[in-house]
Structure 1
Amino acid sequence: MNKKKSLMGAVATLLLAGSVLAGCSSSNTASPTPDGGSENSGASGPQYTFRLADTHPPDYPTVIGDQKFADLVNERTNGRIKIEIFPSGQLGEEKAVLEQVQLGAIEFARTNAAPLAEFNEELSILSLPYIFDNDEHLWRFLEGEMGNKMLDDLEQSRMKGLAYYSSGARSFYSRKPLTSIEDLKGQKFRVQQTKVNIDLIEALGASATPMGYGEVFSALQTGVIDGAENNFPSYYSSNHYQVAKNVILDTHQRTPEVLLISKSAWDKLSEEDKKIVKQAALDSVSTQRESWEKWEKESAEKLKAAGVTITEVTDLKPWQDAVKSVVEKHGSKYQEILDAVDKARQ
């Protein structure tokens, strides 16, 4: 989807915009402190109340990261910049939220990188199957020069990337048995609404059914779809395991989450406030990642206790071979990024 089309599609959502409260006062200087903030950093200047949208429940790791970010901004500006968190999809599904972020109707959002690719196509690289060997490889790339450049490139789409959050590895789950790659054939799987994910499902011999995250549970209940794919914390917290009790750990994607701000809100901030917001986002990552690791382990234990059948994949080669065409199709235009991914292995 190009930027013009995204902006046109978002016009209908303008009535949902919240107002930004602003006022002015004199600035002051302050000395740095070890936590990356300042002793009186941002103590004076315009006052703002912003909103941050997230689709997950309040105790989910991304929302915990969101809250840490908001708390740090509030602390480092002495309450001058407040960021209110709206979890559980209160402000809409990710795609609709992103359209509002483009317009400045919502100032901040946490979203998976996959739907962001509809607004900035180079981010589709982060959803390519099996290009990251493990989480260590992924984070070496994300925290490197190219990963940071991809955040900055979102400005072309009227957004500003602030930081990446962890999202683990995605695997398939279904109402029907899943013990091998052959079991996927003919099944209908919900996917995020992106070209990469649709092609991925079809390359594995299954049928892709794009739909919003909030629709998946009822679609599983009614048999509209056979299954879906996600990480353990999302699979558990969404209660999808109650109707789709078969998981195969193929770990086909390690698509990160992205914390971002509307370009229009970013441009309103002073240079000092931009530094505070950016650093607070980066400083919130460790809290989010720690929460993620804890949730991932706890979710796995709870799923086993709930009687979910979990099948480990011991040989990924048949899976990797099946989706090579997807990597070639969507990665050929961004060889420089793929080279950086490969370099991050070293």
Structure 2
Amino acid sequence: MRIFNLVVWLVAAAVAGPAAARDFTSSDIYPSDYPTVRAVAHLADLMRERSGGRLIVSTLGAADQQTENYTLGELRNGTLDMARVNLAVLNSAVPATTVLTLPYMFRSTAHERRVLDGPIGQEILATFERAGVVGLVFYDGGARSTYGVMPVRSPADLRGVKYRAQQSSNWAPMVRAMGAQPVVLPLIRVDPSMRAGLVDVADGNWSSFVALQHHRVAKFFSQTEHARSPGVVLFSRRVWDTLSDEERSIIRSAARDSVAYYRRLWDEHEAEARRTAETAGVQIVSDVDLSAFSSALVPLHDTAVSDARLKAMIDRIKADPGP
């Protein structure tokens, strides 16, 4: 009888072992060699190692050809487990994210990273759950500049120009403040729209500019550096609520530890992307009137945010004493 019980226990354990494993799917709009996708793959490796092989993540990269708004919807209804998205798509659902996407909010990459790693970053991540997602970590995305079929040196150059705008609450007003005509398009439509003359300019960082092949159609990259909107790694709240405390702890620690890895990848990738663009014949416009752009865009800080707590958050960011 004792032997029979032991056999039953071993069979049950063998069946229960695989059932305890969790398979997750993560999405990103960029291709598999892009820093954000590679960083999430590293995050997945850490999750698997620290869980003894129980927590497994498959990354989709550019296999997800939907918009990031669609991706956010998948996360909220639980049909997708994880995703890295640009913070701008959350502006309406999570108002605090607007602060990080405002023009000329950060003086430098170092300034942005201090804010994202510090108390303000944690405060904003904590507000995500009311939107049906769990914010794990931010991946900063470099300075966004204007590129297209024409050079841009001042807001005067953009009067009446068709400027691709992100699908967010504050991007179209920013484009209008520069004198341009906003054309709201998903990122994957920029290339064909620019070739067809439906948009004249768009914006992005060096890495996305090259990864999305926009440097093949946009031959001018004007260093307006008007925003530093970060990305964020999210987890579906519906799926998160089914996890144990131990599993949640493993995922959070793996996400935190992926940030340093991501930043090393990002810095290297951005430098290489610029060299690739220059080799392809892209003209870099460096004599940009940053003062004129700042004068046009910084007033949006007061109009884009009305909540007193968020206005105080903006003041805290500006008060950062570092470079």
Q: Which moved more, 1:331-340 or 1:241-250?
A: 331-340
Aligned to 2:317: 341
Identity %: 31
Matched residue SS, 2:281: coil
Matched residue SS, 2:305: helix
Matched residue SS, 2:170: helix
Aligned to 2:22: 48
Q: Does 1:66 align with 2:40?
A: yes
In structure 2, give the amino acid aligned to 1:204.
M
**Structure 1: how far apart are the matches of 2:208 and 2:110?**
21
Report how far residue 331 of structure 1 moved.
2.8
Matched residue SS, 1:173: strand
Aligned to 1:273: 247
Gaps of 5+ in 1: 1-23, 26-42
**Structure 2: how far apart are the matches of 1:268 and 1:80?**
15
**Structure 2: how far apart are the matches of 1:344 and 1:279?**
27
In structure 1, give the amino acid aligned to 2:110.
E
**Structure 2: how far apart are the matches of 1:206 and 1:91?**
28
Aligned to 1:140: 114
Q: Does 1:220 align with 2:194?
A: yes
Seen in structure 2, the aligned counterparts of structure 1 residues 340 and 244 have a Cα distance that, compared at 3 Å, is: same
Matched residue SS, 1:258: strand
Report how far residue 315 of structure 1 moved.
4.4
**Structure 2: how far apart are the matches of 1:115 and 1:312?**
29
Matched residue SS, 1:131: coil
Aligned to 1:287: 261
Once the two structures are superposed, residues 312-336 of structure 1 have per-residue CA deviations (whole angstroms, 9 ceiling, x without a partner) of 1464211111113321111342212
Pairwise CA RMSD: 1.9
Matched residue SS, 1:250: strand
Shift >6 Å, 4+ stretches: none
Aligned to 1:164: 138
TM-score by length of 1: 0.85
Aligned to 2:175: 201
**Structure 2: how far apart are the matches of 1:142 and 1:86?**
26
Once the two structures are superposed, residues 284-305 of structure 1 have per-residue CA deviations (whole angstroms, 9 ceiling, x without a partner) of 1111111110011001111111
**Structure 2: how far apart are the matches of 1:302 and 1:104?**
39
**Structure 2: how far apart are the matches of 1:232 and 1:45?**
44
Report how far residue 343 of structure 1 moved.
3.3
Answer yes or no: is the 8 Å Cα contact 2:145–2:227 preserved in 1: yes
Once the two structures are superposed, residues 40-96 of structure 1 have per-residue CA deviations (whole angstroms, 9 ceiling, x without a partner) of xxx999311011010000000100111001111011112111010011052622100
Matched residue SS, 1:317: helix
Aligned to 2:81: 107
**Structure 1: how far apart are the matches of 2:319 and 2:254?**
28
Report how far residue 166 of structure 1 moved.
2.1
**Structure 1: how far apart are the matches of 2:280 and 2:268?**
18
Answer yes or no: is the 8 Å Cα contact 1:91–1:97 preserved in 2: no
In structure 1, give the amino acid aligned to 2:119.
E
**Structure 1: how far apart are the matches of 2:181 and 2:126?**
35
Higher relative contact order structure (alpha carbons within 8 Å, sequence separation ≥ 6): 2
**Structure 2: how far apart are the matches of 1:179 and 1:315?**
6
Q: Does 1:121 align with 2:95?
A: yes
**Structure 2: how far apart are the matches of 1:85 and 1:298?**
24
Q: 1:297 aligns with which of 251, 262, 271?
A: 271
Report how far residue 132 of structure 1 moved.
0.5
Matched residue SS, 2:299: helix
Q: Does 1:232 align with 2:206?
A: yes
Once the two structures are superposed, residues 232-265 of structure 1 have per-residue CA deviations (whole angstroms, 9 ceiling, x without a partner) of 1101111111111111101000111100101111
Answer yes or no: is the 8 Å Cα contact 2:153–2:288 preserved in 1: no
Matched residue SS, 2:146: strand
Once the two structures are superposed, residues 156-192 of structure 1 have per-residue CA deviations (whole angstroms, 9 ceiling, x without a partner) of 1111100011200000011123233321221101111
Q: Does 1:175 align with 2:149?
A: yes
**Structure 2: how far apart are the matches of 1:230 and 1:224?**
18
Aligned to 1:31: none
Aligned to 2:6: none
**Structure 2: how far apart are the matches of 1:339 and 1:197?**
21
For the pair shown, the structure with the greater C-alpha radius of gyration is: 2
**Structure 2: how far apart are the matches of 1:325 and 1:138?**
20
Aligned to 2:59: 85
Aligned to 2:286: 312
Seen in structure 2, the aligned counterparts of structure 1 residues 179 and 343 have a Cα distance that, compared at 3 Å, is: closer
**Structure 2: how far apart are the matches of 1:302 and 1:91?**
24
